Structure 1
């Protein structure tokens, strides 16, 4: 089973990011921006990282496209694609990158949703969640692109079952 840990909008938290990494021991990790840490901060070691609107280290890329175990991921923070309005710009950019899974943050609203052959994942925020009280991150698991599960967890590691999402790309 393949897994990827997805975080966003940690806004300066260091101990919590380290604890999440330690808790799950997942090889592939994504941070969707607004860590407010330096690109080479120890807490972010091993993460695929992008710049958020609150990240001031200019070495962060605005976006990354990566391939993990047969699935192409497009990673961005979302502020450059106006994700607070809708996901259309994000969808078009991911299509240009031939990505099936889009990981983003910025809204601090946790959730996963499949639209056609694209799976959008926003892990929420482990510091300042919106629309829910739980401070969240996500883990996507898959055996094949036809069998994907996205599970959400609180910053302390408890499952948030009502956010679990199953997809088939």
Structure 2
């Protein structure tokens, strides 16, 4: 199974379409969205191609393939227009004998870990900074942001296949990876 991870779309139709070109090229089975789908947030500039209404339509076209969690910029009205569940603070997926703990990152993150077992994986967004590391027998992963990366990082997404998590720029080039 191949999983495709994105975070922090912030209403950018332009970057969402670029990310989904990669989803198609990667031939992934499911799309994991780690929050902040539709809105840019009060502290952020408008991202290129900001169009929450069209982002909603686009994402709804993939509703049967999306697993999503709520970000700090997401609201209950978003779940009214999005045709998939996305208001949970976290979700868990079992993958090759490991628990993938999926969350946005504003509550659980590398500084505030949830209760995880040795070898489990915390995957979050929120910071817009990619991370792939191991901390005290827990894997910590952040695919970065597709629309508003920070700290001179590229716009990015993640792919998990055969226990290898790769973080890639929107041209499909791997720039960070970790074996789970």
Normalised by the length of structure 2, the TM-score is 0.73
Check conservation: 1:65, 1:99, Cα contact below 8 A.
no
2: CA distance, partners of 1:43 / 1:127: 19
Identify which of 111, 116, 138 aligns with 1:95: 116
Identify which of 94, 100, 103 aligns with 1:76: 103
1:11-58 C-alpha deviation (Å, 9 max, x unpaired): 123422432221211113311111215596224541210011112225
> Which residue matches 2:9?
10
> Which residue matches 2:88?
61
Identify which of 154, 157, 166 aligns with 2:169: 154
2: CA distance, partners of 1:68 / 1:38: 28
How many residues align? The count is 152
Check conservation: 2:34, 2:125, Cα contact below 8 A.
yes
1:117-148 C-alpha deviation (Å, 9 max, x unpaired): 21111000111111124111111233xxxxx4
Check conservation: 1:50, 1:77, Cα contact below 8 A.
yes
Check conservation: 1:4, 1:27, Cα contact below 8 A.
yes
Check conservation: 2:8, 2:125, Cα contact below 8 A.
yes
Identify which of 26, 32, 35 aligns with 2:34: 32
User: Where do 5+ consecutive residues of structure 1 fail to align?
Assistant: 143-147
Could you say what the CA RMSD is over the residues aligned between the two structures, in angstroms?
2.5
> Which residue matches 2:60?
41
Normalised by the length of structure 1, the TM-score is 0.77
1: CA distance, partners of 2:67 / 2:115: 16
Q: Secondary structure at the match of 1:120?
A: strand
2: CA distance, partners of 1:136 / 1:150: 13
User: Where do 5+ consecutive residues of structure 2 fail to align?
Assistant: 39-54, 80-84
Check conservation: 1:125, 1:135, Cα contact below 8 A.
yes
Give 1:99 shift: 7.5
